[in-house]
Amino acid sequence: MSSPAAAAVLVSNGAVSPRAPPSAASFLEATPGACTTARGSLLWWPRHLRRLAESASLLARSHPQLLGLPRPRSLDSFFSETPIHALVNTSVRLAIHEMRSRLPVIKEDNLTLTTLIGGGDSVSRDGLDVFVHVGTYSPPVFGDSGAMVAVAGTGRAAAAAKYAPWARMRKSMEKMRPPGVTELLLTNDGDHILEGSVTNFFVVCQKEEHESKEPFAVQTLANKFEVQTAPICDGILPGIIRQIVIE
């Protein structure tokens, strides 16, 4: 059995933390910043990295407190010498290498990779830190009944960006979770579903006779059915899987 220290790796500003890190969820709850998480595969990592950079830039300009900054500003000064993707990928490679040195038989499909950019105490980065947390991943098994959902919260602030403080906000929503429910859905008016608290939300429905006017409706099965999801303009996170399904 793996020791607790081997269960996860945390790289902070290019250096492996000598202490056993907390879980990814606990780390996100305690650390402000823009974040992204890839589970089970790095196939879509370039998309995660692009969204991470976009989220950090958006938060720095319009919601600096969610990034851990005292005031709005541009990120150009932080990454003028080294591009953000270079800093992140260097730490990602280091974290995965360290994880595999501790668990030699670990496969990429069994890893969960969480990256966060946020304000901190680092003098060398002018107060902006880059963290990479790598842990093990086991796909959930829903069983024959599938997932159970309930509407229990309003839409996100700064929905176009993915940020760590949402983990704390989501935790408060858990008090409204009915027994047996596996996901909480967000809505601002009780009628239009936006997304899940941790997932993208889609419905498969029979196409009506008139032409569909949904902005993102993917027609399937000889145009008898379509897959629908809320548009970005409604105020939802531009999820990686959401975009892949649309494509």
User: pTM of the full predicted structure?
Assistant: 0.82
What pLDDT score was predicted for residue 104?
Answer: 87
Report the C-alpha gap between 217 and 71 in whole angstroms.
Answer: 39
Mean pLDDT for the chain overall: 85
Tokens 């494509």 locate to: 247
Query: Which pLDDT score is estimated for 221?
Result: 53
pLDDT tens string 206-220: 877 655 555 555 555
Alpha carbon separation from 20 to 23, 24, 164 (Å, rounded)? 10, 12, 20
pLDDT attached to residue 209: 64
Flag whether pLDDT at 240 surpasses 70.
yes
Q: Which two tokens stand for residue 67?
A: 């990034």
User: Dihedral, CA atoms, 172, 173, 176, 177, nearest 10 degrees?
Assistant: -120
Q: Which of 164, 154, 240, 166 is nearest to 195 (CA)?
A: 154
Q: Which residue has the tokens 């823009």?
A: 34
For 21-60, the pLDDT digits (tens) are 999 999 999 999 999 999 888 889 999 999 999 999 999 9
Across the range 191-196, mean pLDDT stands at 93
* pLDDT score recorded for residue 89: 95
Backbone angles phi, psi at 225, to 5 degrees: -130, 160
User: What are the tens digits of pLDDT across the range 97-152?
Assistant: 999 998 888 887 889 999 999 976 544 445 689 999 999 988 766 666 677 899 98
Domains of the chain and CATH, by start: 4-136 (3.30.470.10), 149-246 (no CATH)
